[in-house]
Structure 1
Amino acid sequence: MTAFPRHAERLSVLDTGRRLRSLVPAAGLDFASNDYLGLAGSDVLRMAVTDALERGVPVGATGSRLLRGNHPEHLALEAEAAQLFGAQAAIYMGGGFQANQAIFATLPMSDDLVLYDALIHASAHEGLRLGSARAEVFRHNDADDAERIISAWRLAGGRGRVWIALETVYSMEGDFAPLDDFAAVAARRDAVLVLDEAHATGVYGTLGRGFAAGIRDVPTVALHTCGKALGASGALICADRALIDTLINRARPFIFATAPSPLMASAVTRALAHLRGNPECIQMAARLRAHAHEAARGLGIELPPSQILPIVIGSDEAALRAARHLQDRGFDVRAIRPPTVPKGTARLRISITGGVGPDDIDALFAMIGDLKRRDFQ
């Protein structure tokens, strides 16, 4: 018997609709995480933390960055990140959700317009909900649609700044934003590109810098999460110094949160240094990605070109059955269901991580081929 029957009733409805979530321990070969370079459990980060502890770096920050929580490890990380990602300044926050929320709730002003891709992350929606700017959605990866909305807004009297929000690699679709097209729109319309690099950082671009560093003559705000390819936790926002100082002074998720662990800042700094000194880890990720795509094509499955491989099945139940079948055979693959993805597009989300090899990929796709021949039933 529960003291919260209305909550229990809502959970029961989710369970009936096959939408009830639960926490499942990691088991089997890692085709589910975002550990794209295999750094999370590596000696690289283990030694970074060990060295930091020996230097006396504390585990806890003890307060917000504006109180006593501002540690030299945070400052060293931000300096390293700004240099690597080619930005005037950087700020380190507790996570990507918190950082995205801070960006959209704080930087666009009340007379501005924020245009966001139809598939942008939930954290951006939370920031937009808290912010004061007008927000409008454009069709996924459609720069022409974004420009059409800007034109209509200007004709209706809009005089503020335009901010265009994209993910450079989309977390559930696995496709890339056409950045050249959006950069051209931003240049014509004096707009700012807000680029979520969560699934690009460490994987794409020179030294794993992602895509934002390659954009010229257009102002950008780039979010680099540290809990995916970098193997640690937290998030870095890289931007013009005035924008970073605005976040320090006005972003509630920064001002009123205990600072990230200085120990974790040390780990992220080491991860960035590893990217600089070991480009072969990025090359290995590219080879594994190419191997997976070749295996998929052998089954007649065409997928977006990234390390995120969504195999859309359709119904929630069929996706759950397929995932369970793979898990029972030692492959950690998860089913993604609405509302995370649109209704009727439940899928297997396969990610190519640093914890698997070519033989593992071949074995997984052999199993998927068997499921496909049975129409995932």
Structure 2
Amino acid sequence: MAFPRHEKVLTALKNRGRYRSLMPRAGHDFASNDYLGLAGDDVLRDAAAAALARGVPVGAGGSRLLRGNDKEHQLLEAEAAAFFGTESALFMGGGFNANLAIFSTLPQQGDLVLYDALIHASTHDGMRLGRAQTRAFAHNDAADAAAQLAAWRAEGGDGQVWIAVEAVYSMDGDLAPLKALKLVADAHDAVLVVDEAHSTGVFGDLGRGLAHDIASAQNVLSLHTCGKALGASGALICGAGVLIESLINKARSFIYATAPSPLNAALVRAALRELQDNPERRIQAWDGIYHAWAEAERLCGLSGFKSQILPVIVGADKPTMKLAQGLQERGYDIRGIRPPTVPRGASRLRISITLNTSGEVVTQMFSDLAKLRGAA
């Protein structure tokens, strides 16, 4: 059976340099979100062996509201709420599903979701499934957020406002102005929803995230994904008990999904313990990040980085992929990022600094990057 329309779309993607294909892991890790190097560490291997030895099931066997609710889920949620400083927590299968749950369920008809212009795709999909109105504000601009909110009120909007941001933006690596946004939320009786996906484990006291200082407030809801710095998979939605109970009762991506593996819940518990028991791991990660910033500037003239995510903007799609290929051929796993993941004309290399890669390799990579950019 032929699918000519699909074939036409794929051909167009290839011609524009935007065709995607799955690649095996190869070379030094500059592409993963395993910022603390936990995914392949003995900490989680030993935790998995211990959990299996005490009888923790591999599979849940059903949704949480049927027979899939395991004590490992509930222990994790209690420990996560205590660690992140919130009333309650809910464990879900992944960050994408968690954002679908939040934005399709909590904002009601007549409400407004006011979102950063560079917010994650999962938030957009959640908003599409929800009934609230939506409006963007300029990236990382709290003043524009306040202006957009005021304009909506002036137009007659009288519902609850939900301000959606990422703590660390996954493609730009910059940080949300959370203090300023919290002031906007407080002034307008709004809820600040902070996606901590790329800050959990890396930022904040013991890796509790950028929003840790405000996470206990009733008008703050935070999302901590477990498949990045925590080395496992899943996501934890943390916030006021009434919001968590609302998700349990109303969120379709929670109610109708098979529960996450209880074994995985045990691994996330072990990762949270590691953050608390071994703060040296996070310090070591930051030593590597600072080293990468310095070498990027010394060897390539690149500066202005704010996190473990170092974007190298190329611009056009095909030159971006050519540069990525050149680095891959030299043994570095670096991927090119193109629209629609980033804005048109802003294709880039997304360089991720993790504990999986030594400082010596980081230095050599930037030296090779400088040569390839010079030869382009």
Q: Fold-level match, TM-score > 0.5? A: yes
Question: What is the correspondence of 1:164-183 to structure 2 with a 5 Å cutoff?
Answer: 164-183=163-182
Report the aligned-residue RMSD: 1.0
Distance 1:75 1:183 in 2: 30
1:168-226 C-alpha deviation (Å, 9 max, x unpaired) = 00000110001111111111111110000000000010110002221265611100000
Unmatched segments (≥5 aa) in structure 1: none
Distance 1:283 1:315 in 2: 36
2:288 aligned partner: 288
Distance 2:372 2:315 in 1: 14
Secondary structure class of the residue paired with 2:242: helix
Question: What is the correspondence of 1:1-377 to structure 2 with a 5 Å cutoff?
Answer: 2-215=1-214, 217=217, 219-298=219-298, 299-374=300-375, 377=376
Distance 2:62 2:249 in 1: 16
1:261-311 C-alpha deviation (Å, 9 max, x unpaired) = 000000000000000000000001110000000001113111321000000
Per the TM alignment, residue 373 of structure 1 is displaced from its structure 2 partner at its CA by 2.1
Secondary structure class of the residue paired with 2:302: coil
Distance 1:335 1:149 in 2: 34
Unmatched segments (≥5 aa) in structure 2: none
Distance 1:5 1:187 in 2: 53
Is 1:303–1:309's contact at 8 Å kept on the other side of the alignment? no
Secondary structure class of the residue paired with 2:32: coil
Is 1:191–1:218's contact at 8 Å kept on the other side of the alignment? no
Is 1:193–1:218's contact at 8 Å kept on the other side of the alignment? no
Secondary structure class of the residue paired with 2:182: helix
Is 1:65–1:258's contact at 8 Å kept on the other side of the alignment? yes
Moved more, 257-266 or 302-311: 302-311
Is 1:232–1:267's contact at 8 Å kept on the other side of the alignment? yes
Distance 1:149 1:324 in 2: 42
Distance 1:303 1:14 in 2: 32
Is 2:218–2:239's contact at 8 Å kept on the other side of the alignment? no
Secondary structure class of the residue paired with 1:163: strand
Per the TM alignment, residue 150 of structure 1 is displaced from its structure 2 partner at its CA by 1.1
Is 1:295–1:365's contact at 8 Å kept on the other side of the alignment? yes
Distance 2:219 2:212 in 1: 11
Secondary structure class of the residue paired with 2:43: helix
Is 1:296–1:303's contact at 8 Å kept on the other side of the alignment? no
Moved more, 322-331 or 155-164: 155-164
1:93-118 C-alpha deviation (Å, 9 max, x unpaired) = 00000000100000011121110000
Equivalent position amino acid for 2:169 in 1: Y
Secondary structure class of the residue paired with 2:201: coil
Equivalent position amino acid for 1:360 in 2: V
Equivalent position amino acid for 2:13 in 1: L
How many residue pairs match? The answer is 374
Distance 2:165 2:139 in 1: 9
Scaled by the length of structure 2, what TM-score is found?
Answer: 0.98
Is 1:187–1:217's contact at 8 Å kept on the other side of the alignment? no
Equivalent position amino acid for 2:246 in 1: T
Secondary structure class of the residue paired with 1:312: strand
Distance 1:19 1:69 in 2: 40
Distance 1:256 1:144 in 2: 39
Per the TM alignment, residue 3 of structure 1 is displaced from its structure 2 partner at its CA by 2.7
Distance 2:345 2:105 in 1: 35
Distance 2:256 2:211 in 1: 29
Equivalent position amino acid for 1:287 in 2: D
Is 2:16–2:318's contact at 8 Å kept on the other side of the alignment? no
Moved more, 337-346 or 96-105: 337-346
Distance 1:218 1:48 in 2: 34
Secondary structure class of the residue paired with 2:39: coil
Distance 2:106 2:311 in 1: 33
1:47-85 C-alpha deviation (Å, 9 max, x unpaired) = 111111111111110000000000000001001100000
Is 1:183–1:218's contact at 8 Å kept on the other side of the alignment? no
